[in-house]
Structure 1
Amino acid sequence: MADLKLARLPDRAPVKLTLAVLPDLHQALEEYAALYASTYGRQEPVAELVPAMLAAFLDSDREFAKARRSGVSAAR
């Protein structure tokens, strides 16, 4: 086996999730998308923003990061 500098790329196949949100959360997401568009000059649909928002949330959760590093998982 060759010893390449670039490691094997991780699986990047998207996984589709369907979820329902309450009307007030939907309204807040629409407002966020509008603020995003006025801030960056580019409209993005809520469905495109939500995965990035969730990733940012998980990345900022110190307890979650600590649990992942220690191998603790609540997944069943």
Structure 2
Amino acid sequence: MTLKLGPIADDKPVKMTIEMPADVYRDLTAYAEAHAAESGQASHGPAKLIVPMLVQFMTDDRAFAKVRRTGGS
């Protein structure tokens, strides 16, 4: 199995608070464990995965890339 999420960068974050459904949190926690096992890194926990997942999502979103290129909707 190969997860889409690559290594997690260690950079200075901006503090943000979010709420999510418990089932999403459980899945994110399970993903964090799978990512740690696959990458050979220690688990960073679910909170550290959110930003790389969002970056990957936005990178893969062609409509968003088009909006970014054209500067409009």
Q: Which has the higher contact order (CA 8 A, sep 6+)?
A: 2
In structure 1, runs of 5+ residues without a counterpart are 1-11
With over 3 angstroms needed to count, the CA separation of the structure-2 counterparts of 1:14 and 1:40, relative to structure 1, is closer
Looking at structure 2, the residues matched to 13 and 70 of structure 1 have their Cα atoms a distance apart, in angstroms, of 30
* CA RMSD, 1 decimal: 1.8
TM-score (norm 2): 0.75
> Where do residues 1-76 of structure 1 align in structure 2 (5 Å cutoff)?
14-42=13-41, 43-72=43-72
Percent identical across equivalent pairs? Answer: 39
* Residue 15 of structure 1: how far off its partner (Å): 2.6
* Residue 62 of structure 1: how far off its partner (Å): 0.3
One-letter identity of the residue aligned with 2:47:
A
Looking at structure 2, the residues matched to 66 and 30 of structure 1 have their Cα atoms a distance apart, in angstroms, of 32
1:3 is aligned to: none
TM-score (norm 1): 0.72
One-letter identity of the residue aligned with 1:52:
P
The secondary structure found in structure 2 opposite 1:21 is coil
Over alpha carbons, which structure has the higher Rg?
A: 1
Looking at structure 2, the residues matched to 16 and 30 of structure 1 have their Cα atoms a distance apart, in angstroms, of 20
Looking at structure 2, the residues matched to 49 and 30 of structure 1 have their Cα atoms a distance apart, in angstroms, of 9
* Residue 13 of structure 1: how far off its partner (Å): 6.4
In structure 2, runs of 5+ residues without a counterpart are 1-10
Count residues in correspondence. Answer: 62
